[in-house]
Amino acid sequence: SKKAFIFDLDGVIVDTAKYHFLAWQKLAQELGIEFTPEHNEELKGVSRVRSLDIILELGGIQASQEDKNKWLIQKNEDYLSYLVDIDENEILPGVLPVLHYLKDKNQLIALGSASKNARPILEKTGIINLFDAIVDGNDVTNAKPDPEVFLQAAKKLNVTNENSIVFEDSVAGIQAANIANMTSIGIGEATTLHEAKYIFEDFTFIDVSFIESLIY
């Protein structure tokens, strides 16, 4: 049968989580806020606006909307500066074989990302044509763990939630998939992603028989 395979972007398909971190860290430093990789875990899967609020809360800073808007633009410009030269090498190990296998088996593939920069990243890495539907930060009003992004993707593909499978590296994203009654697959550390139905350290640990078991 046809299933919908919905992929998160940052930290699942491409290794861009590190660039988000660098850009946020630079801003935090300018604001005199200590921001560590541990703090950064809380930002994964979270919208840009909410991420800034979390950082400002960390530093106990109350800011005007004007300042916040300025910092959001600054962070995004820094983030984009890291993306200027990216290409297919940014795709994480094991991802392309899975995408091509799903295409081969006539399965439906969607993107379900919080990022407003999703499309240019898919274009630069040369994989945008593999997607039957793209839902990103420009399409949704409610950020993960709200399931809106995944619900929109399944709807676009005309597949039920129960026949949808979500790949996610963030806790918020796993929660969103579970709330939507979709099959959640965590990509990353088992301790962090324990709410997922299945967990793999990365895509190289996912074999053909596992994917087949999801399709049939």
Build a one-symbol-per-residue string for 120-149: x at contacts with ligand BG6 by CB under 6 A, - elsewhere.
-----------------x------------
The yes or no reply on residue 136 touching Mg ion (CB under 5 A) is: no
- For residue 114, the partner it binds in Mg ion, ligand BG6, none, with Cβ less than 5 to 8 A by kind, is ligand BG6
The correct pick among 13, 19, 48, 112 for binding ligand BG6 (CB under 6 A) is 48
| Angular region, 155: left φ>0, alpha ψ -120 to 50, beta rest | alpha
The backbone torsions φ and ψ at residue 159, rounded to the nearest 5 degrees and listed phi first, read -120, 145
CB of 215 to ligand BG6, least distance (A): 26
Interface stretch with Mg ion, choices 8-16, 52-60, 128-136, 181-189 (CB under 5 A): 8-16
CB of 197 to ligand BG6, least distance (A): 20
Is 8 one of the annotated active-site residues of the chain? yes
The yes or no reply on residue 114 touching ligand BG6 (CB under 6 A) is: yes
Is 10 one of the annotated active-site residues of the chain? yes
Which residues in the 19-38 window bind ligand BG6 by CB under 6 A? 20
Tally Cβ neighbours within 10 Å of residue 44: 23
The correct pick among 107, 117, 125, 175 for binding ligand BG6 (CB under 6 A) is 117
Build a one-symbol-per-residue string for 146-185: x at contacts with ligand BG6 by CB under 6 A, - elsewhere.
------------------------x---------------
CB of 187 to ligand BG6, least distance (A): 12
The yes or no reply on residue 44 touching ligand BG6 (CB under 6 A) is: yes
Tally Cβ neighbours within 10 Å of residue 25: 19
Q: Choose among 83, 109, 112, 86: nearest CA to 96.
A: 109
Footprint on this chain of ligand BG6 (rule: CB under 6 A): 9-10, 20, 43-48, 51, 76, 113-117, 137, 170
Question: What are the residue numbers of the active site?
Answer: 8, 10
